[in-house]
Structure 1
């Protein structure tokens, strides 16, 4: 899974995750968006899998705060 920010014509990948050696618990993650303060952005969660094995990621309780 990739976490990306799109601002204007620029896409920045904030993190890339794999389910190889994954555990079955939730892990809280956070990212600073301070570089985009005052700009319009889109936050994307991109997942992919191939035909050989299902890949599952769960995204829950997302938020953007000013602080």
Structure 2
């Protein structure tokens, strides 16, 4: 992480769902700043974990 960076959420296979789950985050605190969104998926060789991102949106005011 770089200086001033913030992790909005961390999920694992313990957060499994039967289908898609909608997630929302408040990004008003860095208003007027450059925002970089990153999605990172990690798994090991013992169990597959599927991480799916679909229909992302960022709304500014």
Could you state the TM-score of these two structures normalised by the residue count of structure 2?
0.84
Runs of 4+ in 1 over 6 A off after TM superposition: none
Higher strand share: 1
In structure 2, the residue matched to 1:22 is 16
Pairs aligned (count)? 61
Unmatched 5+ residue regions in structure 2?
A: none
Unmatched 5+ residue regions in structure 1?
A: 1-5
Report the alpha carbon displacement of residue 24 of structure 1 after superposing the two structures with TM.
2.2
In structure 2, the residue matched to 1:11 is 5
The partner residue of 1:32 within 23, 26, 35 is: 26
Whose RCO is larger (CA < 8 A, sep 6+)? 1
Q: Distance in 2 between matches of 1:31 and 1:59?
A: 15
- Please tell me the root mean square deviation across aligned C-alpha atoms, in Å: 1.8
Could you state the TM-score of these two structures normalised by the residue count of structure 1?
0.77
